[in-house]
Structure 1
């Protein structure tokens, strides 16, 4: 009897919480992972997905980023239909790619194209961590390289928004080769006088942080972004020391001279347009100049 009493109490105690969760439609509210404040998604979107309580910058998908940065109706996507293969016959790789395509509405972890910011044209690559954690495989490297080569040919500046867990292990050495490939393209672009602005968002790690993400003429980052190559725990175990609490944050890198500026999302469009306008020599004002 006593056992039955406690079983019933537990049963009835859980019912209200289940019903409460069911009463809130999915996608209406979100809880901030930093301060735990619950906010309406509509309100959060109005503030560019930045928590107004603690300034936490939610990671953005590629489409949201493009909408936030570019003048209305000016963004044009490149190489939209490029998709990855499975060169190493990695088990279940293709199924995982298909799931991410359905989830993100992207065919790969980066969206490339061109657009205008305050009337100034630029080529762009926007990584999306929702697709295989923004990992860089052959297609990601190829799309970024093609975008850089296009900008070089057309005399446009380049902006890359990085968000990545690093090189994609399912493609092995082919993914690591993209570090050299993208870096070489940027070297040629730079030698030809091209302007490259790198914007590191949360997270920018592994092979991406060790290649094109760190090669900008201007290296910017969003507040609180995790930026680094190896993981914190691995570094601590290797050097046998405890690292600072803010290690590998954008603010830590700025303090140690590895970034030019940490830019709040609300100011990012303005900062980018200012840099573009300073460096514009008449060509970047529009690709329809001819």
Structure 2
């Protein structure tokens, strides 16, 4: 029985697997189907291409030139500037052929690593309406495929809410959009007063990239914690003078009488909180009630 070597590629594995298929009276049609699929020449070519790409990735070669197209154009121009021998005419013919130009253009694109889509800059005023809500700017890249999310209008608040995320869609693959998120803008266009069908059309018409302004969904437990306020602070707290804090730079300084809004109590020792009325939206660490009592 043939044995694969340690360096065997996918196409060799596929060829060995094909050779080991044996007729089975109970699954004759299935075996014939598998053998036809594995023996398909195009599949073998794809396996070889995949193996070459993996080998290229492991080697991580650096391009010798970043502008092969420009060099070819300069050489062609130099050849045309004077009398040419037979070899030079043949070289000129090769350098000016559309196929070689396309290959060199692809080479330059990969060498310069400019094949990623060009995304528009973020709007300068996207923080104007932050207030006390946590607004997130999400930028997705998609082709002609749909966004992969449905929306609905919340009857109580009138907000536009993400109702469903379709598995495998652009929104799902990004991991940045979730059910319950509130949609505020699409590519800088406010959707607060638009009908759901107008919003859906706006989403479907966006090609290449789409920028969403959303307010992330808040879990009920987090919503309850956000509404919970500490009594006025009974002492001054300076994190830089507290050796017990896990990170002095992340601490929230406060003075006696300040009202603190607890954001999360996940850590029993160090809570995250914000000062009520503070324009800074970022929470800081404060000692928990249990830690203070120690």
Q: TM-score, normalised by structure 2?
A: 0.21
Highest CA radius of gyration, 1 or 2?
Answer: 2
- Greater relative CO, 1 or 2 (CA 8 Å, sep 6+): 1
